[in-house]
Structure 1
């Protein structure tokens, strides 16, 4: 577990073999967004085998457009790495921002694994494969 501190901002990083969880506390803004981005990217660039990155926002107090930009960059990096991004425990103000900027569906859409499983199931249904 790692803590990165500033006056109003704390990141707590938890790792298990398949999941990276980053708890975000305080204000995600111009001064702190790079810290979050660096923390996630640092763990994605080392050999890790993560399937999921979970950002836990239960203690988030504020987010500005730079924080939103960091979330979009994290999504880009996780997608490129084949890792699903989850935005957990979103406070109402974050939910509103994501909805108003029309990125909620983009950031929280089902990942490639679910889409691949659905496509495979549809292919099996169409071809009769998998039918006993």
Structure 2
């Protein structure tokens, strides 16, 4: 039942890439930092955001989150010019969830399609908010 609830929350999360400054958790959308201003094509997970949600759902281990309740974690990471993930950090209201989100994102070995600027691959910052109810 917990996995079903987690799956529904992950599917319901709003993932959108925008060239705006992060404003926090209020809008619960994925945003990118101002460093991505000149990006013509954002970085893309193979299969799109639905595939990323599915990956997170399959990899997250909710038993690593010791508390119960509704928790939000905002995970930030860079998709580098080779399509690999680096500089992962998560912040939120539950330390265990933050650590689990960092672990899940760091476990992604699938290469992303790098962001493009003027036809060249560039680093791309991604901010991924996630909320679960345990």
Under TM normalisation by the shorter chain, which class is it?
Answer: under 0.3
TM-score, with normalisation over the residues of structure 2? Answer: 0.25
More helix by share: 1
Larger Rg: 1
TM-score, with normalisation over the residues of structure 1? Answer: 0.25
